[in-house]
């Protein structure tokens, strides 16, 4: 196998496992470092080892790939990834409405996110980097978002569409953290709360209801903010009147996100059941912060299938044209 492919696949699988971003980044950097090298250059072990961006593990991966086998590191990762079974619903998903690039807190360029989305067979991906207030995530000012829009517009083609978007912060009072006119220009608006998740039930409910009733939101992201596992530790779900929030979502045609990240599993099953009963739309999203995380959709699809969500109620099973009609509705 080609060393470049081996390094990229390792990075992708590490990202899917959500191992440390430095680890995955090391493999992506090494893949970049050997991009375009001839076979002879790759086989010159001494100069390869001195090359910037090549470390011990990436060097051995390259050597093993050149020797003609699947590098052991990659074989292990493949084996771990192989045990997951794909749901029937996963096969019906056409795209993803929530993803990040290195413009905010994602790992890679928009290019690599698009390549990975195409490789998964997605028809579309919405790029939804964070909004200004989320400084820790390098949220985009209106100026940076406008600059990003110029780039996003150029990235569609060959049966794939990169939708413009944002994951806009829901402020404490339920306001949205971006200029209204700019939100109206975007294809997809995901709105999520990232701060003050421990607000009391009444104010938290009013906060989310106001956000989804703003007429500017398509998807309500990770509804409760809970974390159930992983390196960031756990966090209980926000307390809120789910029925009131989901009724507002249904009235405004806002889809409730089923966030696929295993550490989130948000909303919890009992809330999915309420949203289902109320008649809400859903969007199964990866919330990928790296190319290899786009395939986390598998987990969200499995949860939605187990919860009995009918595919036609999931906007990401819809053809792009219908999806665009929905996001372009008088929000």
- Which residues of this protein are in contact with Zn ion, per CB under 5 A? 167, 192, 287
**Cα dihedral 320/323/324/330 (nearest 10):** 170
Residue 89's nearest CA partner among 279, 320, 314 is 314
Using the minimum distance from each CB to Zn ion, give the nearer residue, 192 or 224: 192
SS3 for 155-222 is CCECCEEEEEEEEEEECCCCCECCCHHHHHHCCEEEEECCCCCCCCHHHHHHHHHHHHCCCCCCEECC
Label residues 123-143 b or e (16+ Cβ within 10 Å = b).
Answer: bbbbbbbbbbbbeebbbbeee
- Nearest-10 crossing angle of helices 56-66, 21-34: 50
Using the minimum distance from each CB to Zn ion, give the nearer residue, 96 or 167: 167
Using the minimum distance from each CB to Zn ion, give the nearer residue, 167 or 302: 167
The 3-state DSSP class for residue 58 equals helix
Label residues 321-331 b or e (16+ Cβ within 10 Å = b).
Answer: eebbebbeeeb
Query: Considering the complex, what minimum distance in angstroms separates the CB of residue 221 from Zn ion?
Result: 5
Query: Considering the complex, what minimum distance in angstroms separates the CB of residue 57 from Zn ion?
Result: 29
Residue 37's nearest CA partner among 9, 13, 16, 7 is 7
Query: Considering the complex, what minimum distance in angstroms separates the CB of residue 290 from Zn ion?
Result: 12
Query: Considering the complex, what minimum distance in angstroms separates the CB of residue 105 from Zn ion?
Result: 8
Using the minimum distance from each CB to Zn ion, give the nearer residue, 8 or 293: 293
Q: What number of other Cβ atoms are within 10 A of residue 225's Cβ?
A: 22
Please state the length of the chain.
331
Using the minimum distance from each CB to Zn ion, give the nearer residue, 4 or 264: 264
Using the minimum distance from each CB to Zn ion, give the nearer residue, 101 or 192: 192
Query: Considering the complex, what minimum distance in angstroms separates the CB of residue 328 from Zn ion?
Result: 22
Query: Considering the complex, what minimum distance in angstroms separates the CB of residue 45 from Zn ion?
Result: 41
Query: Considering the complex, what minimum distance in angstroms separates the CB of residue 124 from Zn ion?
Result: 17
Using the minimum distance from each CB to Zn ion, give the nearer residue, 247 or 285: 285
């Amino acid at each position: 196998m080609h060393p470049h492919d081996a390094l990229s696949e390792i990075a992708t699988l590490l990202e899917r496992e959500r191992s440390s971003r430095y680890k995955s980044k090391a493999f992506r950097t090494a893949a970049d470092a050997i991009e375009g090298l001839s076979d002879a250059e790759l086989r010159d072990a001494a100069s390869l080892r001195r090359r910037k961006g090549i470390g011990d593990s990436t060097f051995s991966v390259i050597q093993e790939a050149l020797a003609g086998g699947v590098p052991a590191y990659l074989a292990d990762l493949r084996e771990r990834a192989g045990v997951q079974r794909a749901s029937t619903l996963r096969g019906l998903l056409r795209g993803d409405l929530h993803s990040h690039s290195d413009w905010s807190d994602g790992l890679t360029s928009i290019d690599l996110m698009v390549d990975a989305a195409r490789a998964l067979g997605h028809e579309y991906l919405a790029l939804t980097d964070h909004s200004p207030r989320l400084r820790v995530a390098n949220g985009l000012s209106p100026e940076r978002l406008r600059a990003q829009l110029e780039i996003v517009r150029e990235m569609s083609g060959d049966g794939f569409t990169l939708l413009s978007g944002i994951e806009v912060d829901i402020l404490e009072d339920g306001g949205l953290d971006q200029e209204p006119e700019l939100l109206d220009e975007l294809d997809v608006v995901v709105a999520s709360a990232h701060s003050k998740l421990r607000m009391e039930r009444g104010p938290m409910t009013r906060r989310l209801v106001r956000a989804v009733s703003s007429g500017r939101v398509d998807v309500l992201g990770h509804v409760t903010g809970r974390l159930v596992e992983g390196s960031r530790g756990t966090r209980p779900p926000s307390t809120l009147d789910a029925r009131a929030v989901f009724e507002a979502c249904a009235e405004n045609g806002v889809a409730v996100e089923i966030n696929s990240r295993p550490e989130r599993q948000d909303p919890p099953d009992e809330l999915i059941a309420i949203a289902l009963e109320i008649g809400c739309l859903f969007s199964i999203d990866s919330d990928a912060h790296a190319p290899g995380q786009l395939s986390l959709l598998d987990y969200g699809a499995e949860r939605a299938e187990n919860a009995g969500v009918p595919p036609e109620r999931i906007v990401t099973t819809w053809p792009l044209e219908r999806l665009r009609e929905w996001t372009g509705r008088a929000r």
